[in-house]
Amino acid sequence: MQRKITIKALTLVFLLISFVSYASEDTQKGDLKTEIKAYIQHHLEDSYDFSLTSYTNDQGEKVYWGFPLPVILWDNGLKVFSSSKFHHGKTVAEVDGNFYKVYHTKIYKTDAEGTINYDAEKHPTNAKPLDFSITKNVVVIFLVGLLMFLLFRGLASSYSKNNGIAKGAGRIFEPIILYIRDDIAIPNIGEKKYRKYMPYLLTVFFFVWFINMLGLTPLGVNVTNSISVTVALALITFLITNFTGTKDYWKHIFDPLGDTMPWYAKIPLYIILIPIEVLGIFIKPFSLLIRLYANIKAGHIVMMSLIGLMFIFKSWLGSPLSFGLAFAISLIELLVALLQAYIFTMLSALYFGFAAEEHDHHEEAHAH
Amino acid sequence: MEIPVMVGAGLVVIGVGIGIGKIGGSAMEAIARQPESYGKIQTAMLIAAALIEGIGFAALFAV
């Protein structure tokens, strides 16, 4: 019992360190509130190096813990160099006579001094090379992919080796896989067709769940905070839905009333109905991507702000308050990480169900 | 006089809160009446709540 409590307390401390460690990054000295805002902004952004934490040493220099990542640019030829050349965004990197500078997490081409020109709206006018860099988010996505491959490959092969009984670390996920099959895929897609959608549903569920959970660890990663990741996920759902759509699915969109009316009566209705249905094709994946992105981002902002309270209060009251609130929100975030993965999978399965539907025309005639 | 965008967003969030509250309340009543169909009710509840939530986020992002 004692040991369990100790383990739980340690886990909690680790969870909180992840956010506190980000709050120790340096920014321009200003008033405290803008500084905390800058920390939160920094935490929500992708970066070119994987920095875990930083501290100021005795000589007053910043020391960063972490490792640089490769920067890959296409600017009249392939340019590959280490992100350590940027020195955490402070210096200009020189590659083959070209100069690059990081400005607001984007790489711009500059002159030797790193001058950035602005237009009237304060947007930089410098040229932007095509950026294929392996950023922090990309590294995490690769790692989660590798982890999932090893885990589920091991689980799958253990069935054949062990007479149909799961073995190994992947075993704890077996009930979840069965749950996705029996309670998400089959009721929504149907007994006949669910099999071909299962690989995607399982992949997207575990991918989103693992990545959301990693966002709560001391690594300080936040992949699903980045809208491009959720756009990519929703785009895959969109493509699968529409490429596996049956004749009935498209008929439902372009001829929803079917034979219930003569054609001349349908025309005025269809002027309104068809645009709405077509718009619906795009709104479905759009709501998926916004939901995942906004939920995770909102959770991270709330968590960071609560930890920021500690620095604002600066009294014996502030720390326990901030700690307690952050603890409560951490627990909710653990639930949200799972819930968002579940909802994404569930709604994807629902959309696939629409796409795979095939009306039994005899039964429909009875229903009307 | 111009009404700030944030007031509008706040109104939307109030609406979303009422909506999700009603869904949760109705789901609980339904579960109390028919505990055996707990799983199905919960799934339907989560889907409806998630769809409404999407509108709330859309309003927040408009700010």
**Using a CB-CB distance cutoff of 8 angstroms, which residues of chain A are in contact with residue B24?**
none
Integer Cα distance of A344 and A206 in angstroms = 11
* Domain layout of chain A by residue ranges: 70-133, 138-367
Mean pLDDT throughout A128-157? Answer: 88
- Residue among A342, A346, A339 at smallest CA distance from A188: A346
Q: Is B39 contained in some domain? A: yes
Residues 34-53 of A with CB under 8 A from B: none
C-alpha to C-alpha distances, A364 to A213, A257, A269, A350, B10, nearest whole angstrom: 45, 13, 22, 21, 44
Query: Are A294 and B47 within 8 A, CB to CB?
Result: no
The domain tally of chain B equals: 1
pLDDT above 70 (res A336): yes
User: Which tens digit of pLDDT belongs to each residue from A225-255?
Assistant: 888 899 999 999 999 999 998 888 888 888 8
Which residues on chain B are in Cβ contact (under 8 Å) with A350?
47
CA angle in degrees (0–180, nearest 5) for A260-A261-A264: 160
Q: Does A346 touch chain B (CB under 8 A)?
A: yes
Look at residue A313 in the predicted model and tell me its pLDDT: 80
Alpha-carbon radius of gyration of chain B: 15
Tell me how far apart the alpha carbons of residues A205 and A183 are, in angstroms, rounded to a whole number.
13
* pLDDT band with cut points at 50, 70 and 90 for residue A10: low
* From B39, B47, B60, residue closest to A347, measured CB to CB: B47
Quick check: pTM over 0.90?
no
pLDDT digits (tens, 9 = 90+) for A218-230: 777 888 888 889 9
CB A275 within 8 A of CB A254: no
pLDDT tens-digit profile of A261-285? 788 888 888 888 899 999 989 988 9
> Would you say residue B41 lies in a domain?
yes
ipTM passes above 0.95: no
CB contact under 8 A, A183 and B51: no
> Nearest-CA distance from B2 to chain A in Å?
24
Q: Is residue B22 assigned to a domain? A: yes
Which of A183, A339, A346 minimises the CB distance to B39?
Answer: A183
B50 domain-assigned:
yes
For residue B20, the enclosing domain spans 14-61
The DSSP secondary-structure symbol of A130 reads E
The reply to whether residue A290 touches residue B47, judged by beta carbons under 8 angstroms, is: no
What DSSP assignment string belongs to A157-213? HHHHHTTT---SGGGGGHHHHHHIIIIIIHHHH-TTTGGGGHHHHHHHHHHHHHHHH
Look at B53 and A290 and tell me if their CB atoms are within 8 Å.
no
